[in-house]
Amino acid sequence: MDRMGSLRLAHLLLLICFITGCLRTVSLSAQQPHPVTSVQDTETPAQRDARMEWWRAARFGMFIHWGLYAVPGGVWEGKPSNGAGEWLMHDDKIPVADYQKLVSQFNPTQFNAHDWVALAKAAGMKYIVITSKHHDGFAMFDSQFGFKPNPFNIVSATPFKRDPLKELMVEAQKQGIKLGFYYSQDQDWTAPGGAAFGGHWDKAQDGDFANYLHTKAIPQLTELLTKYQPAIIWFDTPTADMTPQLASEIVTLTNKYPNLIWNNRLGGGYKGDTETPEQQIPPKGFPGQDWETCMTINDTWGFKTNDTSFKSTETLLHNLIDIASKGGNYLLNVGPDAHGIIPPDEADRLRAIGKWLDTNGEAIYGSGPTAFGDEDGAYSTTEKDKNGKPVWVSQWDWRSTTKPGKIYIEIFKWPNGAFHLDKVPGQIADAYLLADPAHKPLKITQKGSVADINLPQQPLDPLATVLVLETSH
Ligand code: JFZ
């Protein structure tokens, strides 16, 4: 088998491991109650609504994958990798000691917390989730733990010596944006006993998983929660090692922070707060549930020198609107490089989305899902996928979001003359374009639930122009 083929096979095997791990977790949770009840198990619906309120209104967040893997940037011993930047150590089976040597080259002197937070704000993002420790085990904050076989964090082990998470915490507070931490609680490829999908490849990784949790993951999560007051903990890649009992020890910790929001990737049968579809938008979202699609701008989370397949601003903005119309959040990733710079191709796109939101944010923040429901597409009646399920065929003409008394129509494909709707709930009393400062009334023709709204010849914004319908019943 060639290299590409074997890598693809490796990834397939990883995915199977991941899925069987999840299935085991799910069946365990169906069999037994949680050893420790979590906030989600005991709070009232009203308490949950209060806890999730800011998150639900936010709609748009910045994911940041930044770690030691930014140094190789997806290239090891001259060979570019096909996998994600942050998976390089695993994909190339790099020995622990060799990987750890990268610390002397990690000196991101151009890192500027003010600029990163300002960029998130300029993009119209309401929260940031940054990797505090990814699967490689390297902590991006000042930590007293994980010191075996040597201190493996940015403050103790690199010439940089600064604590970027602390600096981001200060700036996030100053500029008024929520800050959360991704923490790889299960996989840790450099700590003895930490899990690795597909198994360990270096003797230095062997050890007891519970011991790893007790000596590194739980102490580090405690440091993060006590010293940085994150709004979110974003767990990842649970394996079968994370038994209900072990997961419950983490839940005992998170329970001490009644406002904390955490996702569905802890493991051990805990559901957390949010569904986390990855790199895709489920056709109908998760009705009645909190969910967040995380997505890369190019094809990697952690920085890769060779990855320039950036999605267009239009695609990214349409994704944000699509997700909002289905009641979810968009956690869009940037991968800063080893100097501390967010790639300009990523930053430019974020600023363009922010510019659109400056004018049209009313249709996104705090909005409810679509008033219609067929505009996003349909399952094909002829085409089936490899599992025999009908293929989803997306439509990208327009989307809809709502607020009490208002229907927003985000128009992607400008129609000729009038915008036609078949199933209007209620009577349209007023119609105008959100980007028109005068909100000049547009001509409405409505018979029952069928309506036509006269539009100007040209859209006000070729990316998306928002039509506002004010309704009465
Ligand atoms: C995980 C990480 O392994 C990856 O490096 C990145 O941090 C990403 C956000 O999360 O990758 C996953 C996790 C879950 C799935 C796929 C990749 N999944 O559910 O298919």
The pLDDT of residue 32 is 67
For atom 16 of ligand 1, which residue has the closest CA?
278
For atom 6 of ligand 1, which residue has the closest CA?
301
Nearest-atom number in ligand 1 for the CA of 237 is 13
For atom 7 of ligand 1, which residue has the closest CA?
301
Q: How far apart are CA 161 and CA 101, in angstroms?
A: 16
Q: How far apart are CA 39 and CA 233, in angstroms?
A: 14
Nearest-atom number in ligand 1 for the CA of 134 is 7
**Hunting for tokens 């940085």 — which residue is that?**
228
pTM of the model: 0.93
**Which one-letter DSSP state was computed for residue 147?**
-
Extract the residue ranges of the chain whose pLDDT is less than 70: 1-32, 473
For atom 17 of ligand 1, which residue has the closest CA?
278
Distance 294 CA to ligand 1 centre (A): 9
The pLDDT of residue 19 is 46
- Residue 170's CB is within 10 A of a number of other CB atoms, namely 14
The pLDDT of residue 236 is 98
Q: How far apart are CA 102 and CA 83, in angstroms?
A: 19
Q: Which residues line ligand 1 (CB under 6 A)?
A: 84, 86-87, 236-237, 278, 294, 301
SS3 call for 463: coil
Nearest-atom number in ligand 1 for the CA of 22 is 19
Distance 114 CA to ligand 1 centre (A): 28
**Hunting for tokens 């006590």 — which residue is that?**
226
The pLDDT of residue 150 is 82
Nearest-atom number in ligand 1 for the CA of 15 is 20
The tokens for 105 are 């080259």
